[in-house]
Structure 1
């Protein structure tokens, strides 16, 4: 069984792929870039990182292996455990763990694991077909000199031009511009509404597929918190984007998680209704647009919870 291939297949579709008992491979989207004096163009891509502290089994990799290899879920977990034992043995003996199309994991002098990703594979499906390229530098001074020589050699002939009264044309031009502006604004308003509706439908469809893969979710509580009676909060209309801190099978644990988030300064933390996986999602906050949710997700992943993820209602 080639476990690297199964991990690579999941990295195309998910932001986090956890190998139980070993660590998690995380992806972050990087925008297109232009670097260097020769203008090197790089398309948008997914940058892969590794977190050895995330080891809980979320069921995603085991389910995928079971389906692709036509085996039971429990057997898939055992097979994955065999690879984890082999990789751990190599790292303990200061050998490298080479994962094809993903990267290499080595050990430094302090016995810490260091991950070096492969940069030849772009896991961002939106960038399929796009490749980096280098644009040659344009020598503008040569063109200016050639134009100057041509102008010096060209004869100059002064021809008197007839004078016409075009004062009425400015009023006609202003009227035409006004009509064009009204039509453009109306079309843009209609198009923006249509695009927003289509985007929300696609995002909901993707989110439903993600929910089907979730079998278990955890939330780390550093100290016991007294039980707080909280009512389940329904999704607010026109705020379909939720930044999730964790999902719980017990409503009591979800209430404790909300109390801890409130104590940490997240006053908008709340609980969503029970989902199809019989879990109670606990969210930091809900948003009206995807852009707002993405900005807040990056901030919280840097300062509070690297495993925070987006739920689209």
Structure 2
């Protein structure tokens, strides 16, 4: 089995992929870089690092292998364990291991692993982008030009004067200015254009987002039927709300592991109960898996 392929696929969507009993591949975001010595712009990217201490199974890699190959969760776990053992044996005999698309491992005399990442860019937004040779570099300052400031001052003077003449009293002028200013945007100066049009903003539409709180129960058991993992808490809460609307009242966000919030349909004190419940639901949740906090 080409386990590297599944790890690479997940790294485009996740910042951390744990290979049980081997270690974790961590994708760290790096902003675009300008090299002034050769006028080269490098696109944003995600560089790989390796942490050998993160070996506890979180189910992400196993679920990917099981789904893509149409096999059970237990069978996928066996396949991954076999491949990890092959990697370890290879390192013991050869002291080096090359994983395509990920990087190279080398073993020191103290049995420690050194990892050299590949040049693969795992930032999906920058996929396929190459470095760019620049001819000129323009710099900007976080200061408004004097002409822009003048236009803003000039634009408010007629409003103030008009408000004073209209009401004849100081107090209502404030309300008048607020009403007029709320729909006004200062004109954008373009020195290359023959004429400039003032742009008036449309009324701002305020969208209220209701974030539901995570419902906590007194006991969350060690065996959990996981039906989804989400990067944002809001997404996890929305998933819980939808599941509860469908009648799964025990659904909850049970924990945060790494960068992801895990949503469980239900938790159980024993693994047998969790597996039996998963089987009882048939194909309703084909990508679900049982997460053990004891293994």
TM-score category (smaller protein): 0.5 to 0.7
In structure 1, C-alpha distance between the alignment counterparts of 2:112 and 2:118, rounded to whole Å: 20
Q: 1:252 to 1:106 in 2, by over 3 A?
A: same
Q: 1:310 to 1:69 in 2, by over 3 A?
A: closer
| 1:181 is the counterpart of 2:186 | yes
- 2:213 alignment partner, one of 234, 242, 258: 234
Q: 1:248 to 1:134 in 2, by over 3 A?
A: farther
TM-score by length of 2: 0.53
In structure 1, C-alpha distance between the alignment counterparts of 2:20 and 2:13, rounded to whole Å: 19
Q: How does 1:247-266 map to 2 (within 5 A)?
A: 250-251=219-220
1:69 aligns with: 69
1:89-116 deviations in Å (ceiling 9; x for gaps): 1222342121111111111233210111
Q: 1:62 to 1:177 in 2, by over 3 A?
A: farther
In structure 2, C-alpha distance between the alignment counterparts of 1:129 and 1:65, rounded to whole Å: 26
2:121 aligns with: 122
Q: How does 1:25-44 map to 2 (within 5 A)?
A: 25-44=25-44
Q: How does 1:37-52 map to 2 (within 5 A)?
A: 37-52=37-52
TM-fit CA distance, 1:122 = 1.3
Structure 1 stretches lacking a partner, 5+ long: 139-169, 205-232, 236-246, 254-271, 283-306
How many pairs does the alignment contain?
192
| 1:280 is the counterpart of 2:280 | no
In structure 1, C-alpha distance between the alignment counterparts of 2:35 and 2:199, rounded to whole Å: 36
1:241-283 deviations in Å (ceiling 9; x for gaps): xxxxxx9994499xxxxxxxxxxxxxxxxxx98956655336x
The answer to whether the 8 Å contact 1:22/1:55 transfers is: yes
The answer to whether the 8 Å contact 1:248/1:280 transfers is: no
CA RMSD of aligned residues (A): 4.3
Q: How does 1:18-167 map to 2 (within 5 A)?
A: 18-119=18-119, 121-135=120-134
2:105 partner SS: strand
- The runs of 4+ residues in structure 1 deviating greater than 3 Å are 173-180, 182-187, 247-253, 272-279, 310-313
TM-score by length of 1: 0.50
Q: How does 1:210-249 map to 2 (within 5 A)?
A: 234=213
In structure 2, C-alpha distance between the alignment counterparts of 1:71 and 1:250, rounded to whole Å: 32
Q: 1:249 to 1:11 in 2, by over 3 A?
A: farther
2:259 aligns with: 309
Structure 2 stretches lacking a partner, 5+ long: 138-149, 159-183, 188-197, 223-235, 244-250, 264-295
In structure 2, C-alpha distance between the alignment counterparts of 1:3 and 1:252, rounded to whole Å: 31
In structure 2, C-alpha distance between the alignment counterparts of 1:106 and 1:15, rounded to whole Å: 23
In structure 2, C-alpha distance between the alignment counterparts of 1:278 and 1:128, rounded to whole Å: 35
- Structure with greater helix percent: 1
The answer to whether the 8 Å contact 2:6/2:61 transfers is: yes
In structure 1, C-alpha distance between the alignment counterparts of 2:4 and 2:103, rounded to whole Å: 10
The answer to whether the 8 Å contact 1:248/1:279 transfers is: no
2:166 aligns with: none
1:180-219 deviations in Å (ceiling 9; x for gaps): 41876845x848x67xx8xx89xx9xxxxxxxxxxxxxxx
1:116 partner SS: strand
In structure 2, C-alpha distance between the alignment counterparts of 1:31 and 1:248, rounded to whole Å: 41
The answer to whether the 8 Å contact 1:12/1:125 transfers is: yes
